[in-house]
Structure 1
Amino acid sequence: MGYPGRPMATSFAALIFRPAEIPDRALSQGFAVALGGWDVASPRLLVAALPGLPGYSAAYYSSGEPSAGAGDELDHLIELFEDELSPPVAVLDAAAELGRPGATVFALVYSEEILHDDGWRLEASGFLRYFVREGEEGLEAGVETPDRSDLVEIAVDLPESAAEQEEREAIDRAIRPHRGSTFLADELGAPVLGALMAGLFAPERRVEVRLVEPGPASIAAEMARLNRVLRREDGRGAPAPPAPVRGVAPPATYEAFVRAYDWADPADPEDLYRELAIGAIEGTLRFLREGELRGHERDPAWEAAAGRALYPIARLLGSSLGGGAAQRATIALGPDGERLWLVRDGASAAPAGPTFGELLRYLSLGWSRRTDAEEDLIGALMLRARLRSLAG
């Protein structure tokens, strides 16, 4: 027996959390990590306080894909939240990285169009999940933990003459104890579904989904992280503020980088980052020195790149594993101070893949012993960069 869908049906995926435990940065990074391998260019994350649940808010996720039909969007929500590295798992990891290791989050993926009511409680020690859904053979309910998974069919006996309303009421009675929303109401001590519906239509703010935040302050923080990992000193040997290159002023993010980078590490005078593989950046990287920037200023071949307001920041050499001279390129920073470009022969420019901040985080993770959560993060950085570089 199928579930009679409702007209004007609502579907959503929401993460329920305490803002005191889960800051916006954990939401932003966590969802970005979970989406690392998904081809979702403009994800939307809207946050609202939940009426009737003091101290709790909900983050509502959608793909932001205008071409996605309701069915495709629901399929995406279900698959994403059932993934091993789901948004709730990645958000908990991000919160722990930010010094909030004891957080608990809840999640609900819900649809009235088809029957899907999937509720989760997640914490560092594990998870508990209750759900009802339409399976291949009819309605089914399940309970899942890290150690067990139970699935049963739900049978509803009705006479053939039963009206649609009678059928709906009978099914609702049969599935109510198994619903994810019922489980969450018991966990939180208050009705959840109505509160989530109210928050869905009255969001307070949008949280941008980003692996690494943009802006000069974020670049300075990423450089401090990289210097700690490499046991370097902040700003050692820093040159004068960088000058314009063929009329293009250095972005503020690059100025922050120059102030914070260790330009004179006696333990590593070559200052080479070898065997990189993130997006189209493959090989050995070295950040440009003051004299090399002046060389680009004098080089007429850089005029085309300057016409696109690109500012050179590093050179990329071929990999010793076989990249060779064909891989030589200049890495340039776009006018937004965030996007990186690969420029060959001073003319052709293609997206490098990572943002400036993502490249710096990749470097710090690449030169450190990583936790499981950091493995997930570096994997997401590489996947997202690859998708961007291929998209062009």
Structure 2
Amino acid sequence: MAEGRFLPIIPTWFSNIASQRNAVLLSLIESWSPNSSVDVPRAFCKALVNGIEASEHSDMILCLLYYLVYGEENGYTFTPSMLWEALIAWGIRDKDYTVFTLTQISNACASFAFIDSQTEVMKLRSPLLLDYLRNEVFDDKYHTRHIRATFLYLTRGDHEGACRSSQELKERLKAHPFLCYAARTLAPSLAALPSLSYDTDFLKMTTSHRSVDSYLQAAEAWPYIDEESYDEFEAEEERWRCYTRGYTPLHLAAHFGARETLIQLLVDRGDNIEAQAANGQTALHIAAEIGDSSHTVKRLLECEANVAAVDEDGLTPLAHAIVYGCLESVRLLISHGADINALEEEDLLECYREKPDIAEFLVGLGVGMPEAESEPEE
């Protein structure tokens, strides 16, 4: 019936065998036959979700399930402590406006998820339910709530400012286990919803450069599950210092591939379009190397961003674009005066290997592309 995959376990609040909801689920199972045209697993999941939506704490349970679904999809694991912070970020409270306890969260998830007794890592029991929630329930409305809650969470004063040591960052991530996930998923979440306007949320977050620094540091940090694993990862590579310092709001807007309206707003209020981060990059450097951010590149150029600016490695925005960006960004940079003759052979070779469409375009402009050395035959 489910192609070898388990149906979701009926939660405890379905325990009354005479209840209407339970009767729906039981009738689905009883009515199934090999020749049935009814998609029983889907109908089962739908009935289960309908039951969740009718329950007292539906908003809480669906928020928890949202993160269990998308955490697993994005390669992250969740614990009750992480979900506790997520609920606070979403503004979800109990009926008396108190914060849900870790026990309540664990009990709410117990029927749907396995919970590791040592690490407390949670994993959905039913792949069928996971697929149904992802494809049928968690739409752009939920993704928007995640984005807005994440912006709000990242502005909190109790984790503002970059940590000054590996130990300090470990203690912060231990105290705020949702921080790493929130920081790491914000940019991809924004990219997945290009029509979403988040100008107000962005401006609140970037009021203090300390919030920007703490966000960037957390986005590059090792996720904290327990001290042993974190210390092991950090001994391999100290990621607490991997973030780029000196980002301005314009740098961050470029990093997010922001819409034209936000770029224009920042320029109009007086932000320096030529400001350089610690690595010498301007906002145009950052936008140029993001594959789907030609609209951001276009508006920065319209605001007279300097196409000849060089970073600490002597690279222009065009040098970044031909290796990491997209063809439209390359076209825009060249049409605004970027010098194709200043491109280094090493960057052209990387372009030849990684971006054949851009390489072909450059050849059409008369750029001589170096040929990759052929691999020796064994």
Identify whether the pair has TM-score above 0.5, normalized to the shorter chain.
Answer: no
TM-score by length of 1: 0.29
TM-score by length of 2: 0.30
More strand by share: 1
